[in-house]
Structure 1
Amino acid sequence: MSNRFRLGGDLDVNRLGFGAMRLPSKDGMGGPARDPEVGRAVLRRAVELGVDHIDTADFYVSHGGAVRANNLIREALYPYPSNLVIATKVGPVIRPDGLHHGTPADMRGFVEANLDGLGVDRLDLVYLRIGAMAPPHGESLAERFEALAALREEGLIRHLGLSNVDTGHLAEARAIAPVAAVQNHAGQRDEADFLAACQESGIAFVPFFPVGGGRELDDERLAKVAARHRATVPQIGLAWLLASSPMALAIPGTGSLSHLEDNMAAAAITLTDDDLADLS
């Protein structure tokens, strides 16, 4: 199975990328600020290790907005390598009273904020993120996606994606404009259905929290295979994700150089038929 994927049919990327959510803060979005220089060092090292697909969002910020993922990316990597693909998400609005979601009229402002923060004229991939931690079944995304499709027609966006959606949302969006990628929670109930739908249509499947979202993974099956490969359980989790489908991309995130090195080493792990049988 190839370790490369043509995102949107024309952006060739390593299937093991990097998620920027943990760069600004120690405890995920809105947590205490992390040293910005550490974040910049992690980004530079990620590119050195072969990362050419970075996933970010304008709302990936530390408490009070002092450190922002997009700013760190620009500061560390601009001018960007010609092969670097930066994907971002729009939709959520983080306010003191909690999570809110933007309207179709808000989409232009969200896109322009990402353009400004990253210092680019066009965004490679923009996901429309809906709901909270589970897809909002039955909720229409058509008007918001139409607004993003119009910005794509203007040339501000190269490809469109969806995040935290069900198969009904995917069908609704594809009737409006091409969908290049879907980003859902790893292990979501209908993950197998999504993988099948993506594989049939050439759509990338990019699960978030691919190695537990900061929680320890203690699955005995993973531990058994990890011992066989002298690897860590998270490394086997990443290798398993990549082995699940040629359409699967991984974007593990970290604010630690050592964790980054460990994550990227997963690309060198080839799971055998016995490993896959043990994991299934």
Structure 2
Amino acid sequence: MTSHTNTAAAAGTWKLGDLTVNRVGFGAMRLTGSAAFDLGTPSDRERSIKVLRRAIELGVNHIDTASYYFSSLRSANELINRALAPYPDDLVITTKVWPGRDPSGAWWWATPEQLRGQVEENLRQLGRDHLDVVNLRIPPSRRTGSIAEHFGALAGLREAGLVRHLGISNATPEQLAEAQAVAPVVCVQNPYGVGAPAAEQEFLRACGEQAVAFVPFFAIAGAGREAGASATDSETVLAVARAHGVTPAQVRLAWTLHQGPHVLAIPGTGNPDHLADNVAAGALRLSEDEMARLSALHQDSE
């Protein structure tokens, strides 16, 4: 691969509403420390700022964040503001509301009336007068419940001009349909990666048919989730990685991007070297045989 292909544009682009993004983006969760929501281990501020600026240099123009991404001394949104403002014209920042954390780190869940305050918190931290995309992050306890009231409140903020586009996260196909009846949905952000169950595969395909972006999180981590990449990469993943001279994480990312042109990756890292690897994965092309072998891991996990 030549150096100029190792940019976030190598995997192509997709539109979130009227906003065009490169399919390889960046997730800000790990910028604040070693673990997702650890108040005890703040990250190195200058290194986090360096990673963000390097991501932009590599062509990343889609950053996923949240006001609840913070550790004892670091806030992802404030790091983004410090590193990147004044923001590039083509940069799309996606954030999430419904969950929140108080200053001690304790979680709380917003009522529909409190969503405006959460949106305004993101605006303050990012130094923006509007948010590009806001995802309604659905709590695990509501996986089968209605989201119409909360999504309707977000739709009102969109009408008011505080938000340009809406998405949903941790959602079911039924909740997507419910949300679509209220206001346009530009993306679904769900856990997904090698070994995902058949139902998630089907949901990914259905999103593509509706021209809704599917944005997997934990695409690299797999079963490790917030803890990070698991040490138990299957022999299939390792073999494909060896064949291409790349890391298992790059294989997982490439496989995910191969699932459809509407699939966007948002791998997160606080490490400049891992950042370059993640972006380069967008240029990795897997053979039909390799794709089939990796996809067969679904059956093993069900």
CA distance in 2, matches of 1:219, 1:12: 35
Deviation per CA, 1:149-198: give whole Å up to 9, x if none: 00000111010000011111111111100000000112453211211221
Contact 1:19/1:55 (<8 A) preserved: yes
Question: Which residue does the alignment assign to 1:112?
Answer: 120
Give the TM-score normalised by the residue count of structure 1. Answer: 0.94
CA distance in 1, matches of 2:182, 2:188: 15
SS of the residue aligned with 1:128? strand
1:30 deviates by: 3.1
Contact 1:136/1:165 (<8 A) preserved: no
Give the TM-score normalised by the residue count of structure 2. Answer: 0.87
Contact 1:16/1:250 (<8 A) preserved: yes
CA distance in 2, matches of 1:255, 1:180: 27
Gaps of 5+ in 2: 1-9, 296-302
Deviation per CA, 1:196-249: give whole Å up to 9, x if none: 221111100001111014122512221111111111100010000000111110
Contact 1:30/1:60 (<8 A) preserved: no
**1:181 matched to 2:203:** no
1:97 deviates by: 8.0
Structure with more of its chain in helix, by fraction:
2
Question: Which residue does the alignment assign to 2:292?
Answer: 277
- Identical pairs, percent: 51
Question: Which residue does the alignment assign to 1:42?
Answer: 51
The residue type equivalent to 2:83 in the other structure is: A
Question: Which residue does the alignment assign to 2:92?
Answer: 85
SS of the residue aligned with 1:126? strand
CA distance in 2, matches of 1:184, 1:241: 12
Deviation per CA, 1:20-44: give whole Å up to 9, x if none: 0010122112342111111111000
1:86 deviates by: 0.4
Of 221-230 and 121-130, the range deviating more from structure 2 = 221-230
Q: Which runs of 4+ in 1 moved over 4 A?
A: 95-98
CA distance in 2, matches of 1:110, 1:210: 27
Gap change, CA 1:2 and 1:256, over 3 Å in 2 = closer
Please report the RMSD computed on the Cα atoms of aligned residues, expressed in angstroms. Answer: 1.6
Contact 2:11/2:283 (<8 A) preserved: no
1:2 deviates by: 5.7
1:122 deviates by: 1.1
CA distance in 1, matches of 2:239, 2:142: 36
Gaps of 5+ in 1: none
Contact 1:221/1:278 (<8 A) preserved: yes
CA distance in 2, matches of 1:98, 1:67: 16
Give the one of 196, 204, 209 matched to 1:200: 209
SS of the residue aligned with 1:244? coil
Matches within 5 A, 1:127-206: 127-132=135-140, 136-187=142-193, 189=197, 190-206=199-215
Question: Which residue does the alignment assign to 2:300?
Answer: none
Structure with greater contact order relative to length (CA < 8 Å, sep ≥ 6): 2
CA distance in 2, matches of 1:97, 1:260: 27
Of 33-42 and 89-98, the range deviating more from structure 2 = 89-98
Question: Which residue does the alignment assign to 2:7?
Answer: none
1:52 deviates by: 0.5
1:3 deviates by: 1.5
SS of the residue aligned with 1:176? coil
Counting matched residue pairs gives 275
Contact 1:91/1:101 (<8 A) preserved: yes
SS of the residue aligned with 1:207? strand
Matches within 5 A, 1:65-80: 66-80=73-87
Matches within 5 A, 1:231-242: 231-242=246-257
**1:16 matched to 2:24:** yes
1:89 deviates by: 0.3
CA distance in 1, matches of 2:280, 2:254: 10
CA distance in 2, matches of 1:99, 1:140: 21
1:277 deviates by: 2.1
The residue type equivalent to 1:151 in the other structure is: L
